[in-house]
Structure 1
Amino acid sequence: MTTLPFMPVQQRAASDSGHRFDANRHWAASLTLGFGAYSDGDRSITRMNKSHHYGPLRVQRPFYPEGRDGCCHVYLLHPPGGLVSGDALNIDVTVASGAHALLTTPAANKLYRADSNGVAWTQTTHLKVASQAILEWLPQETLAFDGSRGEQTFLIELEDNAKCLGWEILGLGRPASDLPFATGHLEQRFHVSQGGRPLWIERQSLDPSHRRFAGKWGQGGATVHATFWAIGLADPAEAVSALREYLPANERWAVTFRRGVLLLRYLGMDRNEAWDLFLQARAVLRPRLTGHEATIPRIWLT
């Protein structure tokens, strides 16, 4: 009988599964989507013409709640429901000229506490929109648990005359359970360009141990950070005025327009308030950007 060499339980588990469970753990998943515009008589139909995945990232079939010649709605699925140490998610979306796609998620994305080795997770989203194409990036909120460590990166590449509307809502901790985001470190990065020209480059570091986290000159202890963007508006000044007139007036949000990008920011304590604010902002901006009313994805109503 052959005697097998002794292997610690963790090492055997890593060997059997193909994954590591030590400080070098790395669990990758990726999703690549493509959308094109196709002629059907006198109509132009957006179809998902590419869907490649690796690991636990999927999409449901496309939906057309706005009609077959309307926007193509797609739901991104991540069955684990959140990110843990070592996860590396990569989402790559390309929208060809003449196409109009809307991407959202069925539930909130959760960022779980880091493991005993403090290994971080990463999530990279790369959106490419061709001239005369429209992309709406509308995920449900992201919830960061105490002790989470990771980095979110958004890369948005637009050709001239491309249009993009999107948001990112981040809730820190679980206030309802009296579990604040007291430890950990998150970093968000945004890089938006059009025609190869940088429009918006930003890096935000969220570290509870830094004075900026609680200081009134910084975050002021806010537990919800949210950013809404719109690019390609025909009359940005009128759109900004419409938002300021239509949205409920308070000190928790502000809107600006610079270098071709309209940015609506929320900094407060209530992710439901941020969500409602962004829904109202989309109702104002979507008709101005796309010429269509702000249809609600069905998955938000379930």
Structure 2
Amino acid sequence: MTAEISRPLQRTVSPAPADSGHRFDAGRRWDASLSLAFASRSHGREGAARTRLVRARHHGPLRVQRPFYPEPHQVGRVDPCHVYLLHPPGGLVSGDALTVDIRVEPSAHAVLTTPAATKLYRADSHAVAWSQTNRFAVEDDGLLEWLPQETIGFDGSRGEQLTEIALQGSARCLGWEIMALGRPASQLPFESGRIEQRFRLSRDGRPLWLERQPLDPAHRRFVGRWGQGGATVQATLWAAGVEDAGGAVGALRAALPARPNWAVTQRHGVLLLRYLGSSRNEAWDLCCAAWHVLRPLLAGRGVCEPRIWRT
């Protein structure tokens, strides 16, 4: 009996917390959570291996579609598993508390994305905040690619986004966060509210990248040239585990269009690319172009864009 058969995919629905419920006062809180685990398993052909989704637990409106395997097998490499994270409401309102926990076991390779933009709606009359927490744990020789579509912060939105990435041994990861503030096409700029982003990346318990960024239109940093400078779109792409991070920085500078609104650097083995401007499409194209450069260095294979991006 193979390990894959002896350890089937676990799909469970967690019970709702005792204090949850549809409240409409300052104490409202609507929880949702999703916990996934990916593991490398043998796959029929001699020496072939495939990443399997071996655990899927959820509570509330967070789901996954079935795993996809769109990439051709490469001898000596583990086939990646592509998964789409679904949040049917499509956005966060006051009191929402979303938690996503992802574990990539040794030698597994997971590619995660979302089918559409995430919307951060205006806070209610009680100014109750929302929260969004993404926790990723990648074990030795595992690889995680976290490639969500953009987040749109509506005027008056209040909440906190936390991204935690814990790498072990020779684990690798690549991800991005694209934030568009306000809705310029509807002449609804981001003029009030407060969104705070926190990033924490560590390897074997040692912090490599810690960052806190408040987005507050009332703060002078938001409009100051030394800060946000009035930009409505920003993006951060990170990559950890590239063998030659300095060489990767040079490759990105050579391959990407030379513009004053992005920069790339590396420190402690973590490569960071930043964009600050006014175009969601420009930020998205920049991140995708960087992914084309970095993925062969991290995974030994070219990119395979999720089909959901083209629907």
Q: TM-score range by the shorter chain?
A: over 0.9
CA displacement at 1:290 relative to structure 2: 0.6
Return the offset for 1:246: 0.7
- Give the letter aligned to residue 89 of structure 2: P
With normalisation by structure 2, the TM-score equals: 0.91
Return the match for 2:234 from 222, 225, 237: 225
State yes or no: 1:90 paired with 2:99. Answer: yes
Whether 1:57 and 2:62 are equivalent positions in the alignment is: yes
Match of 2:32 in 1: 29
SS of match in other structure, 2:190? coil
Match of 2:267 among 244, 258, 261: 258
For the 8 Å contact 2:152–2:182, the answer to whether it is kept is yes
Q: Deviations over 1:107-163 (max 9, x none)?
A: 000000000000000000000000010000000000000000000000100001000
Q: 1:95, 1:88 → 2: CA distance?
A: 23
Code of the residue aligned with 1:35 in structure 2: it is: F
Structure index of larger Rg? 1
State the distance in 2 between where 1:275 and 1:47 align: 29
Partners of 2:36 and 2:82 in 1: how far apart? 12
Counterpart residue number, 2:137: 128
Q: How many residues align?
A: 286
1:106 lines up with 2:115 in the alignment: yes
Residue 208 (str. 1) matches residue 217 (str. 2): yes
* Alignment check: 8 A CA contact 2:177 2:237 kept: yes
Alignment of 1:126-165 (within 5 A): 126-165=135-174
Secondary structure of residue in 1 paired with 2:294:
helix
TM-score (norm: length of structure 1): 0.93
The equivalent residue for 2:295 is: 286
Segment drifting more, 214-223 vs 114-123:
214-223
Deviation at 1:67, TM superposition (A): 3.2
Q: CA deviation at 1:279?
A: 0.5
The CA deviation at 1:260 is 1.2
Post-superposition shift, 1:20? 1.0
Q: Distance in 2 between matches of 1:48 and 1:223?
A: 37
Return the alpha-carbon distance in structure 2 between the equivalents of residues 218 and 157 of structure 1: 29
Counterparts of 2:226 and 2:59 in 1: how far apart (Å)?
A: 43
**Alpha-carbon distance, 1:18 to partner:** 2.9
Tell me the residue number matched to 1:4: none
Distance in 1 of aligned mates of 2:254 and 2:294: 13
Shift of 1:261: 0.3
Alignment partner, residue 5 of structure 1: none
Task: Please say if residues 155 and 192 of structure 2, whose CA atoms lie closer than 8 Å, have aligned partners that are also in contact.
Answer: yes
Q: One-letter code of the match for 1:33?
A: L
Query: For the residues of structure 2 that align with 1:75 and 1:154, how far apart are their CA atoms?
Result: 18
* Contiguous gaps of at least 5 residues in structure 2: 1-19
- Secondary structure at the residue paired with 1:238? helix
Partner of 1:278, secondary structure, is helix
Amino acid at match of 1:277: L
What is the CA-CA distance between 1:229 and the residue it aligns to?
A: 0.3
User: Do structure 1's residue 300 and structure 2's residue 280 form an aligned pair?
Assistant: no
Decide whether the 8 Å contact of 2:245 with 2:266 is kept in 1.
yes
Cα deviation per residue 1:172-214 (whole Å; 9 max; x = unaligned)? 0001111100000000000100011000000000100111111
One-letter identity of the residue aligned with 1:99: A
**Residue identity matched to 1:192:** L
The one-letter code matched in structure 1 to 2:239 is: A
1:78 alignment partner in structure 2: 87
Moved over 4 A (4+): none
Equivalent position amino acid for 2:57 in 1? H
CA RMSD of aligned residues (A): 0.9
Whichever residue aligns with residue 63 of structure 1, its letter is F
Number of the residue aligned with 1:8 = none
Decide which moves more: 73-82 or 63-72. 63-72
Gap runs ≥5 in structure 1: 1-16
Q: Offset of 1:70 from its aligned partner?
A: 1.9
Give deviations 1:16-50, integer Å, cap 9, x for gaps.
x9321100000000000000001123111100000
CA distance in 2, matches of 1:67, 1:233: 23
